[in-house]
Amino acid sequence: MGQIFINSKKFSLNGSSDTNVRRHLGVKHHLKQFLYPSQLQEYESKPKQKFVSTAHKQQLDKAVVAAIYIDGRSFDDFRKTGMMKFLNLAIPGYNVPHRKTVRRHLELIYRSYRENLKQQLSRVSDIALTSIRLRRFISNELEKFKIKNKICAITTDNGPDIRAAALTTDFGIRLSCVAHDLNLTIKSALWLHKKPKKRKENTKSRDGEDIPEEYLNESSSENEEALTKSTIDDDDEKEESSLETSDVEEEYSSTLATDLEQDQFIERCVADETVLLLTLHLLLKRMRKLINFIHQSSVLDRYVKERIENKLQEINNRLPPDQQQQHVQFKDLIIDFEIRWNTTYLMLQRFLLSCSIITNITQNPSNEIGLKENQYEQLKKLAFSRTDWILLMATRNVLKSFYEATTTLSTQKYESIRISYIVITGLKKYLTAAKDEEPFENLLKQELLSKFNSYFGPIFISYQQCQASLICAFLDPALYVYLTFDQDELGKAEKLVLQRAEFRRISLQPPPLITQVTTANSSSSSRKDEQEQKQQLPSLSLNKFLKTCGIQELIKTTEAVKIKEEYTVKEQVAFYVANVKSLPNFETFWTKYGEQLPDLVSLVKHYSCMQSTSVSSESAFSISGYINRKTRCSLSSAALRFSMCLKKPYEDEDNTCK
């Protein structure tokens, strides 16, 4: 690198460049007096190019790199023809960094992120994993982060390969993903898409436990990347089941179409559970066929959308002034996905909202729609009877509780295992509660309860997981109130907390005094915020779910007990019980009282890091798949990791700022 000094000003010149000094000074530094006449003529004939300052270019380069990993863009997105034309107008003279430069910067940012993460993890006492990958990879990553001796639990799905990988003391106790268990419960209990095949002999797992057949195929169905729309092709139906013949299916369809006496139909369902399930299966099949029929006809689709909009407008107009924020938004009819049962709930919800419109176009279609004669005939064949609608509404109602449970478990901030105790308890209460006026709901609940007891029984939910969730629920002030409804469970939880706290006090060194419990976004709350949080309920989604399950709660604040300098474990538990209702908020309570309850804080940090679902790792791999597809598989595994890992910290930081 050469240097030239002119009037005490230093100019740098790249020694490897073939541009002579005069041209360099004239073109790069605009010192035209050093140019030869021929060079000056050439310089003045060219259009003047604007330049971006070095500091500004560095800012722009940094913004380009950030946009690439935040939006999951390919590395050369900003160098494409359309984008270059836009940038030349928006920022004249700016040259976008090459994709190799982008990758180099991403790697530097990623390595800095990993180092910061290592430093943060070094200050954490207990860590729980959520993973769906295999043992060797997990162990390798734990070694790199130097946290292998801090792992207390791992949350995975229930695939046989994943269970085998997690059956080791290296990862602590294995926790079954509650969201996966809910999915298995619904898919095996209700014939939403497929009828079960003939049962085979029970397959033995590696630890000798009986595993239902549908569980063995979970991994392959859960991890499909493409969401294939459900079909209603008769040839596919023949392969789905050998339990019933086509003659029987036609009999059920025609029976319901003639609106069989409801009591008589219920008696048949009670006598044979497959009658109800097969009927539901055929109704959903007919519903999908009707929705597809509507979407495939432009005139009918337009007619239905107009009627739905008019109906919603009438509903919104009837709302009182104080409920105007609860306006119902327009949502079109949709088809569900076979591998996502919650889309079946959404399909039912929208379909039932338009039940009067569906009845009009199928039982007495208007000529103003503009369909052909054979299309009118097809619509009439897809009509629903009164019994059909009642059964569909019952199905929607039972799926609603599971939908809200899954929503509660799958929030953006990963829910601790403590929430799973309330979700499981609430669902069991809902499934065991019968309503005399809802016979179809009762029958569907019985089917779901049978599978629920299986997938949330000892085969899938270990004894250690049950204890961990109970301890976590007890130590969360927001959830403690629900335990008080069951004094036996409350006593069991208190006994467990005493035992574990005493054990950790004896076996571990006394934990340091802290003033704050480490969380994803922990911050000191002002006195005003504490007053606002006194009446705060656990979460909006949790309360909505519990209300659906028929569980009502009321948190009453109480006067705080005077703080003592030092407590035994038993006194700490007593202090917690006495003060838990004064601050029914997890972070606020442990920030204020954590210093006086060191043994309980140790338990809180150990158990609260355990996750109830593996949604976090599933989400990471979904992001990875999205980026990989968007860049047409052009990224290496290392470059893919940069974009995948850097996207999440930015989102967390952005949400914190908001």
Decide if 479 is inside a domain.
yes
What's the pLDDT score for residue 495? 87
Q: How many Å apart are CA 490 and CA 509, to the nearest integer?
A: 28
**Strand blocks (E) in 179-232:** 203-204, 210-211
What sign has the CA pseudo-torsion 306, 310, 313, 315?
Answer: negative
The terminus-to-terminus CA distance of the chain in angstroms comes to 47
Q: Judge contact between 601 and 608, C-beta under 8 A.
A: no
Same domain, 562 and 512: yes
Decide if 587 is inside a domain.
yes
**Strand blocks (E) in 207-251:** 210-211
Same domain, 353 and 426: no
Residues 266-317 pLDDT 10s: 888 888 888 888 989 999 999 999 999 988 888 888 888 888 888 888 888 8
Our measurement of the distance from residue 587's CA atom to the centroid of its chain's CA atoms, rounded to an integer in Å, reads: 23
Most confidently predicted of 245-249, 326-330, 424-428: 424-428
DSSP 414-426: PPBHHHHHHHHHH
Same domain, 389 and 433: no
Is residue 514 pLDDT above 80, yes or no? no
What's the pLDDT score for residue 206? 39
Decide if 40 is inside a domain.
yes
What is the pLDDT confidence band of residue 538, given thresholds at 50, 70 and 90? very low
Same domain, 439 and 573: yes
Same domain, 446 and 397: no
Residues 563-607 pLDDT 10s: 555 678 888 888 888 887 777 777 778 888 777 788 887 777 777
Region of poorest pLDDT, from 186-195, 333-342, 366-375: 366-375
Residues 230-269 pLDDT 10s: 333 333 333 333 333 343 344 444 444 444 577 788 888 8
Q: How many Å apart are CA 643 and CA 69, to the nearest integer?
A: 5
What is the pLDDT confidence band of residue 394, given thresholds at 50, 70 and 90? very high
- What residues contact residue 406 under an 8 Å CB cut-off, 6+ apart? 179, 182, 342
637-657 and 54-71 helices, crossing angle to 10°:
100
Decide if 193 is inside a domain.
no
| Assigned token pair, 55 | 């500091």
- What residues contact residue 59 under an 8 Å CB cut-off, 6+ apart? none
Same domain, 274 and 221: yes
Same domain, 318 and 212: yes
Same domain, 433 and 389: no
Decide if 603 is inside a domain.
yes
Same domain, 362 and 478: no
Q: Judge contact between 455 and 185, C-beta under 8 A.
A: yes
What is the pLDDT confidence band of residue 532, given thresholds at 50, 70 and 90? very low
Same domain, 278 and 374: yes
Q: How many Å apart are CA 609 and CA 418, to the nearest integer?
A: 10
Residues 607-644 pLDDT 10s: 776 767 766 666 665 665 655 555 544 556 666 666 65
- What residues contact residue 301 under an 8 Å CB cut-off, 6+ apart? 294, 295
| Count of the separate structural domains present in the chain | 3
What's the pLDDT score for residue 445? 92
Q: How many Å apart are CA 527 and CA 602, to the nearest integer?
A: 25
Same domain, 259 and 381: yes
- Over residues 127-156, the mean pLDDT reads 66
Is residue 320 pLDDT above 50, yes or no? yes
Decide if 74 is inside a domain.
no
Is residue 9 pLDDT above 90, yes or no? no
Same domain, 478 and 580: yes
Q: Judge contact between 277 and 194, C-beta under 8 A.
A: no
Decide if 584 is inside a domain.
yes
Of the two residues 30 and 498, the one the predictor is more confident about is 498
Query: Domain boundary residue among 48, 65, 85?
Result: 48
Of the two residues 6 and 573, the one the predictor is more confident about is 573
Decide if 619 is inside a domain.
no
Query: Domain boundary residue among 375, 401, 427?
Result: 401
Region of poorest pLDDT, from 258-262, 514-518, 542-546: 514-518
Helix/strand/coil for 220: helix
What is the pLDDT confidence band of residue 448, given thresholds at 50, 70 and 90? very high
Query: Domain boundary residue among 401, 419, 440?
Result: 401
Q: What is the span of the domain harbouring residue 28?
A: 1-48
What is the pLDDT confidence band of residue 75, given thresholds at 50, 70 and 90? confident
